[in-house]
Chains A and B, each alone.
Chain A
Amino acid sequence: MKRRNLGFTLFAVWLCSAQLAANDGVFDQYRDLMGDDNPAVFVIDEGEELWFTPQGPESATLEACDLGLGPGVTAGTYVRFPRYFADTDAVMDLESRLVHCMTTIQGRDLETVTAKPYSLRGDFGTEIEALVTWLAAESEGATIAPEQTHAAERAMYTLGEEIFYYRAGPHDFSCATCHEQSDMRIRLQALPDLTSHAGAAEAWGSWPAYRISQGLVRTMGWRLRDCFRQQRWPELQMGSEASIALQTYMAVNAAGGIMTAPGLKR
């Protein structure tokens, strides 16, 4: 936790300028300046530590957690998500799989571990955020290859596509409003075309990401929640079917791309 503090102080300095830096040019300069020093490295360490820390009534670590490649295997698992798990008979994203392991292996209370999955501005990062960041880093450089063998996984993709185009709310927005064309932007922010392989690969492959303007690592679950907020919809719940379906849609469109997360965003 000490190290996180250091990270915050360091990047608090950048906060103001980063907010002005909606301009991509300035952002690129920032990235050049920082080089490989993505402050997410602090969060990666914290996530790894948490994985090996005994917790809950069972006083167990997460080493018995099966992320799809066998209990305890972490390397190369994130790029296969979302995927079907026979033990829950459900397609899960990494966030909901971690919740499953915390409740079943560590014996922790579901309501407590899901009470606040994403940090608010000015908070310290959450346990889920740290674990996801470390596990994404454990897949860095690997090829994005979500499972699509089980019928449930393919149905999740179809559902995700339908939600992607579902227009609702006072502004009639769907994801497609902002993310089905290439080379578009809102104000100065570039909008990836998530229906294309290239756009989906770049986007899916770069989350979780450190948000410079917020001084926090954010997961894809948070990214979706925040886009739904802009869509004027109610709040998306972590681990919900809609969240997993949209992630499946993006991950499958991204298949073949390279995982570069944790990314660095404005």
Chain B
Amino acid sequence: MKRLTAGITIALSVSVATWTAASDDIEAVLQNSFVAKNQATMDRLERDAVQTACSAPRGLPLDNQSLTTLREERLNAVVMPADRQYLGDWQRGAEVAGNGRGLQSSDDPTQPNGGNCYACHQLAPDEVAYGTLGPSLTGYGARGQSEAMLQYTWTKLWDTHAYNLCSHMPRFGAQGILTEQQLKDVMAYLLDPTSPVNQATE
């Protein structure tokens, strides 16, 4: 528990001079306030360009040019499936959508990560335990399976910031949360006409 001592010492030494310049040393504050635990390592506190751009309190204005550049960078970095097959097995996709585990310090790293889509989206109409941070995706398959639709949905799942910089949705492909096969399975869960997502309720 050296760290608490460190935390208190830091608080002491910082208290005199730099109280107004919090953001200059926010990284240092975080480094002193956390400890690595299992797979949740300290490097997770470092931000990439998207995370930095999207951390402004209350959506402070960012300059348009750099936002556009960032978004285009994300779009160009999207990796489409090598075999151009976008759709996997919706039954396995249902598991991915319902699984909220993965990458937490308390999770078993040998188990596959989940996509936790239900935390934020309504999907199959008979599942009542769904969150509301994202729009309802019930009946999503009605949009069809055109090449444009497949690419749009894949891109959304791979890196949502390619279309909507600072979206609250995780970057499932770009951040390596889900594998290519899991993404295909979730795609099928969204788009397959026989998937529960696309069944009308009575």
Contact = CB atoms under 8 A, between A and B. Distances in A.
Interface of A: 22, 88-91, 96, 99, 110-111, 114-115, 151-152, 154-155, 158-159, 161-174, 177-178, 181, 183-188, 191, 195, 228-230, 232-245
B133 to A, nearest CB: 6
Given A165-B57, A232-B103, A234-B45, A241 B129 contact: no
Interface of B: 1-5, 7-8, 10-12, 14-16, 19-20, 22-23, 26, 29-30, 32-37, 40-42, 44-47, 50-51, 54-58, 100, 103-106, 118-120, 128-133, 168, 170-171, 175-177
B184 to A, nearest CB: 20
A90 B11 contact: yes
Given A169-B44, A234-B34, A151 B51 contact: no
Contacts of A96: 8
Contact of B4 (A230, A234, A239): A239
Contacts of B56: 165
A184 B132 contact: yes
**Residue of B33, B34, B106 contacting most chain A CB atoms (<10 Å):** B33
A89 to B, nearest CB: 5
Contacts of A238: 4
A234 B103 CA distance: 11
A164 B57 contact: yes
B36 A234 contact: yes
A248 B99 CA distance: 34
A233 B40 contact: yes
A234 B170 contact: no
Given A90-B15, A159-B26, A168-B51, A235 B177 contact: no
Contacts of A242: 29-30, 33-34
Nearest to B170: A171
Given A233-B40, A237-B3, A240-B7, A89 B12 contact: yes
Contacts, number: 170
B1 A168 contact: no
Contacts of B36: 234-235
21 contacts: A90-B8, A90-B11, A114-B4, A155-B19, A161-B57, A162-B26, A164-B57, A165-B56, A165-B58, A168-B44, A172-B175, A181-B133, A184-B131, A185-B131, A232-B44, A233-B34, A235-B40, A237-B7, A240-B7, A240-B33, A242-B30
Contacts of B16: 89
A245 B133 contact: no
B175 A152 contact: no
A154 B22 CA distance: 11
Nearest to A245: B29
B168 A177 contact: yes
Contacts of B45: 168-169, 233-234
Nearest to B26: A162
A256 B20 CA distance: 25
Nearest to A235: B37
B133 A234 contact: no
A241 B32 contact: yes
A239 B175 CA distance: 31
Contacts of A186: 119-120, 131, 133
A90 B11 CA distance: 6
A110 B129 contact: no
Given A161-B57, A163-B26, A235 B19 contact: no
